[in-house]
């Protein structure tokens, strides 16, 4: 499977408009405020008769360039960027939901998002979670008060794929908003809005930033929906990105297509190695899908990313710890999408047991040569041989 990124998307990532003094990069407008020439200009701005920069909690020139690029990449009309992915997610849910509403979660989603949905219960907002396989019976799970369907595809940790076109189609007939966390795929490899979804949310800290040095998030959708999120979730919520972080993300966008293409080649080799390794019980990644899931995945994406999970044959938790601790080129850390190799586990409580067949190890492959990664995995597997 190859990653195919369009020439148009590459141009959006690379090309900026002309700036003062022939600057090649977008300038950092490190302003908290901007002035008006006259009182009339200020009044026209306040009455929304003209667009102008006033206060960076609202708009900033550097941030605006980033938002324009992200909207174009997703095929959306509008975008807002936030100081974190959770800032984007919580602002979206806060703006769309009211007391008495219900959220239907499909697939394995980012853990803190589920935690936030649990917090919303004290405001009279409920939620249910269904699996990817339940999507074929989606109408059965939609309630009279379901306001939002929220999903990830592929899902967090398990990487199950769901039919985005089907979900969007059914939701539209029921007047339900559809929201997807598209962080894993980026808008270069999966464009949910073009598949019928209303909103795509992102942690830009991952592949978009690309260097593990910036925290940010984004929401992309129609002008109508984003106007509501902008007013109620963005400006009043205050989760505003700094102009310097926006600059770092613009830098990351320039190399994003090349990094994704390189990571495809690395990941393909590593997954092939793992598929042949007798110490690996299960690989969770699109390259290891069955024919049905692979056909669905290829129908709504244009490539793969370097995030995958695996389960070992051994259920001995001491051996599983030893394997992870023995990795030399991998750092034990959350997140992904940077230049480095990362490894993490989600099933923390399972390590309190002597044996567990539920532990999933997630690998985030960086820009190391595939042979280096494979050699590291091999030596780590050898550490648990016969022990």
Picking from 58, 56, 57, the residue whose alpha carbon sits closest to that of residue 28 is 56
What is the model's pLDDT at position 15? 84
Q: Enter the pTM of the model.
A: 0.94
What is the model's pLDDT at position 305? 96
What is the model's pLDDT at position 1? 66
7-252 is a CATH 3.40.640.10 domain: yes
Per-residue pLDDT of the chain (387 residues; tens, 9 = 90+): 678 999 999 999 998 776 766 778 888 999 999 999 999 889 988 888 778 888 888 899 999 999 999 999 999 999 999 999 999 999 999 999 999 999 999 999 999 999 999 999 999 999 999 999 999 999 999 999 999 999 999 999 999 999 999 999 999 999 999 999 999 999 999 999 999 999 999 999 999 999 999 999 999 999 999 999 998 999 888 899 999 999 999 999 999 999 999 999 999 999 999 999 999 999 999 999 999 999 999 999 999 999 999 999 999 999 999 999 999 999 999 999 999 999 999 888 999 999 999 999 999 999 999 999 999 999 999 998 865
Domain ranges for the chain:
7-252, 255-383
What is the model's pLDDT at position 125? 98
Picking from 349, 31, 326, 300, the residue whose alpha carbon sits closest to that of residue 191 is 300
CA distances from 280 to 139, 154, 277, 360 (A): 37, 21, 6, 11
CA distance 18 to 161: 41
Contact 373, 341 (CB under 8 A): yes
Q: Which fold has domain 255-383?
A: 3.90.1150
What is the model's pLDDT at position 386? 64
The values of phi and psi at residue 319, to 5°, are -70, -40
């Amino acid at each position: 499977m190859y990653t195919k990124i369009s020439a148009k998307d590459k141009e959006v990532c690379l090309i900026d408009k002309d700036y003062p003094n022939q600057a090649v990069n977008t300038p950092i407008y490190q302003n908290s405020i901007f002035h008006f020439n006259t009182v009339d200009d200020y009044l026209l701005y306040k009455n929304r008769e003209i667009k102008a920069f006033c206060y960076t909690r609202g708009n900033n020139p550097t941030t605006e360039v980033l938002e324009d690029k992200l909207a174009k990449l997703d095929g959306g009309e509008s975008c807002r960027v936030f100081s974190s992915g959770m800032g984007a997610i919580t602002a979206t849910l806060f703006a769309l939901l009211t007391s008495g509403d219900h959220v239907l979660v499909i697939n394995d989603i980012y853990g803190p998002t589920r935690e936030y949905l649990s917090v919303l219960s004290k405001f009279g907002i409920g939620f249910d979670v269904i699996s990817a396989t339940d999507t074929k019976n989606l109408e059965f799970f939609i309630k009279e008060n379901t306001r939002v369907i929220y999903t990830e595809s592929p899902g967090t940790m398990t990487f199950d794929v769901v039919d985005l076109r089907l979900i969007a189609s059914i939701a539209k007939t029921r007047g339900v908003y559809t929201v997807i966390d598209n962080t894993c795929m980026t808008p270069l490899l999966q464009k949910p809005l073009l598949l019928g979804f209303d909103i795509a949310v992102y942690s830009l800290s991952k592949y978009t930033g690309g260097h593990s040095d910036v925290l940010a998030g984004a929401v992309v959708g129609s002008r109508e929906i984003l106007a509501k999120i902008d007013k109620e979730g963005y400006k009043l919520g205050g989760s505003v990105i700094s102009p310097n972080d926006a600059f770092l993300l613009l830098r990351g966008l320039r190399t994003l297509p090349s990094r994704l293409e390189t990571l495809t080649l690395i990941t393909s080799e590593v997954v092939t190695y793992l598929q042949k390794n007798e110490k690996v019980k299960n690989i969770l990644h699109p390259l290891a899908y069955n024919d049905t899931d692979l056909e669905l995945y290829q129908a709504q994406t244009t490539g793969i990313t370097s995030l995958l999970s695996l389960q070992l044959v051994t259920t001995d938790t001491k051996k599983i710890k030893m394997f992870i601790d023995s990795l030399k080129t991998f750092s034990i850390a959350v997140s992904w999408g940077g230049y480095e190799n990362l490894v993490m586990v989600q099933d923390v409580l399972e390590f309190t047991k002597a044996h567990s067949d539920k532990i999933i190890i997630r690998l985030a492959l960086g820009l190391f040569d595939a042979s280096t990664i494979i050699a590291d995995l091999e030596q780590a597997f050898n550490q648990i041989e016969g022990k």
